[in-house]
Structure 1
């Protein structure tokens, strides 16, 4: 399995409406975005215990996949920034809990391309069987 790194210039998470669809159309396969807590400066580990528990499972499951996957990890901010109702990931991306794995793909609906989104959220991210089923 190859985890394809996403160059920062190729995908702007601050404008999810057009940039994401354009990027997905050029990618021609799903994009997985893993939303996690930013590191705590004192420990250099994510401040959220659920994220800390899920990280080894993310690494194992995504690395063991037999398919080429496009994966990007996004830090949602420190605890106060994440708890703010105006956090860009809450407001623009619909992320309500971390960790969250989003599976983004372009599908055709009545001749129109739209971005389809599936989410695996919080405790389900730390369930290895659910995560494997989600990416397959």
Structure 2
């Protein structure tokens, strides 16, 4: 099953932030799903946890208020500036933004790896304010 929501490959946190709508709020959150890039040799993500989570993400993450962020290949991910900028250390990670991030502040929460596979946790995360 393909990942169905808008996606982009980035190297810069500013590129990611430019995709977040100004109207992002606790009643209208925006979700960033950080995901391993697709290996051109296999046509699949190089990250086994991402491959496991893909069907659940496709089914539950809202297409309208989200973006998929490919973090690069394995070596790019290890030194990605996205790790520090968004407080992520493992993928897949879903970041829920409840305000438009700025250089000085942002309001966000995270759901990581196996917690994404737990449909009850995922639904609670997606629907909580």
Per the TM superposition, whether the score is higher than 0.5 is: yes
Instruction: Give TM-score scaled by structure 1 length.
Output: 0.71
Aligned to 1:135: 126
**2-structure distance, mates of 1:5, 1:55:** 14
Q: More helix per residue: 1 or 2?
A: 1
Post-superposition Cα deviations, 1:53-90, rounded to whole Å, max 9, x if no partner, equal 00000111136xxxx84010000110111122xx1211
The normalised TM-score by structure 2 is 0.75
Change (3 A) 1:132 1:13: farther
Structure 2, unmatched stretches of 5+, are none
Unaligned 5+ residue runs, structure 1? Answer: 108-113
CA RMSD across the alignment: 2.9
Cα distance in 1 between the residues matched to 2:45 and 2:93: 14
Task: Give the match for residue 57 of structure 2.
Answer: 58
Largest Rg, 1 or 2: 1
Aligned length: 116
Higher strand share: 1
How far off is 1:128 after superposition?
Answer: 1.4
